[in-house]
Amino acid sequence: METILQHIQFVLAMPADIINGFGFLPEWMKPALITCITFIPWLYFLYYLIELLERFVLTHIAPFIKLCRRVGALVGITASIVPECGYTILASTFYSRKMISKGTLLAFLIACSDDALPLLFMDLSKATAIIPLIIIKSIVAVIVAVVTDIIFVFNTKIENSNPVNLDVNEPGCCHHKLMTIDHPPFWWLHPLSHTFNVFLFSLAIMLFLDCFITNVFGSPQAMASAMFIDSPLQVVVGAIFGLIPNSVTSIALALAFVKGLISFPTFLAGMITTTGLGLYALSKYNEEKNADNSFITIVLLAAAIVTGLLVFYNIGFLGSFVN
């Protein structure tokens, strides 16, 4: 066992040993390269497990939709905690076909974490924020879902489409298509491409941030101050930024939080509005109902700003989890 651990430590130390040997690289560039390269095997393992889970859900799509109709908010929260935007795309597609309620859709969107959560482990002191983040987002998702479905109870018409024959071959992340039951992709291919994409995005964002911190501001604290980290204005900006329909959004929010450039309330607000490609799928497949799409977006933004500001003015309640 001790020999195995020594081999693991040797492998994990290889990126640092190799990169530190490159004398031509600026010092501010090396930590980002080491961190992102070392993180690759863990990301691939995580996304491989998620691929198996996604495959299981899509091969049991009928009971999945039945659960969404009975306890939609709880299903949405449970599914969307998984760091993958595929479930919000499915939820948006199902909603556009009147297979789930508006509240259930909002639960999926609010609870979505996309690619943010794994990246918090780049700094273990920030990884503790995962617990309050998930708890708060889950509470907000339930409240918004229940209130929305109560308000729209007389206007909600759920159609009994046959989910077994439902084509879920919708565009997802990494330019792949969400799996269909008849034509699944290779199990290893999408996790590999997803890992590579997250690695590239993370590396680019970390290099950009480290360059600015070192060459422009001099320290993370100075850059954080310039970004109004102690102001409620940053919370509002974070919520608006989260609406950008792209996986890069959640990566940028997570890494900015890891670097100490944004506060936990800002990160939380951005994560409430972050839906991966969920809002994009909604606008594409629910395109004839622009007013409905706008309402859902406004509810997301309002929930994010209100929640973020409440936490901002009560940050002491969360204690060491978010510091």
Alpha carbons 59 and 53: distance in angstroms, whole number: 10
- Per-residue pLDDT reduced to its tens digit, 22-66: 777 888 888 888 888 888 888 888 888 777 777 776 666 666 666
Whether the per-residue pLDDT at 6 is higher than 70: the answer is no
Give how far Cα 273 sits from Cα of 37, 157, 218, 249, Å: 29, 26, 31, 10
Alpha carbons 91 and 103: distance in angstroms, whole number: 11
Domain assignment of residue 234, yes or no:
yes
HSE at residue 151, side-chain half, CA atoms within 13 A, is 8
Q: In the numeric block, which tokens belong to residue 5?
A: 């651990």
Domain assignment of residue 221, yes or no:
yes
Residues of the chain above pLDDT 70, percent: 72
**In the prediction, which pLDDT does 239 show?**
96
Whether the per-residue pLDDT at 177 is higher than 80: the answer is no
Question: What is the secondary structure of 168-202 as a DSSP string?
Answer: ---B-GGG-BPPPSSS---TTHHHHHHHHHHHHHH
Whether the per-residue pLDDT at 219 is higher than 70: the answer is yes
Domain assignment of residue 2, yes or no:
no
Confidence of residue 290 (pLDDT cuts 50, 70, 90): confident
End-to-end alpha carbon distance in the chain: 36
Alpha carbons 168 and 18: distance in angstroms, whole number: 44
Q: Is the dihedral of CA 219, 234, 173, 111 positive or negative?
A: positive
- Per-residue pLDDT reduced to its tens digit, 72-90: 677 667 766 776 666 777 7
pTM over 0.85: no
Confidence of residue 93 (pLDDT cuts 50, 70, 90): confident
Closest CA relative to residue 303, chosen from 238, 239, 234: 239
Domain count, the chain: 1
Domain assignment of residue 141, yes or no:
yes
| Residues 138/146, Cβ–Cβ less than 8 Å | no
Domain assignment of residue 12, yes or no:
no
Range 132-161 average pLDDT: 80
Domain assignment of residue 21, yes or no:
no
Domain assignment of residue 4, yes or no:
no
Q: In the numeric block, which tokens belong to residue 101?
A: 């309620």
| Residues 69/167, Cβ–Cβ less than 8 Å | no
Domain assignment of residue 214, yes or no:
yes
Determine whether 1 is exposed, middle or buried from the number of CB atoms within 10 Å of its CB (0-12, 13-18, 19+): exposed
Residues constituting the chain: 323
Q: In the numeric block, which tokens belong to residue 234?
A: 């940053």
Range of the domain at 124: 26-179+187-322
